Amino acid sequence: MKNSLKKDVLKKLENNSSAYTFITNLMADNTVYLFGGAIRDFFDNTLCSSRDLDFVVEAKQNQKLDISQYFHDFKDISYTKNRYEGYKVVFNDKLTIDIWNLADTWAFKNKKLYPSAENLMKSVYLNVDALVYSLNYEKFLNNCDVEYLQIKQKRILDIVYDETPYEDLNLLRALVFCQKYAFELSERLNNKMITYIGNHNHYNDAIDNFIELQKSHYKTLLLERKDICYFIQHIYCEK
Q: Note the pLDDT tens digit of each residue in 131-165.
A: 999 999 999 999 999 999 999 999 999 999 999 99
Residue ranges in the chain modelled with pLDDT below 50: none
pLDDT of residue 2: 57
Q: Are 176 and 223 in contact (CB under 8 A)?
A: yes
Instruction: Answer whether 0.85 is exceeded by the pTM.
Output: yes
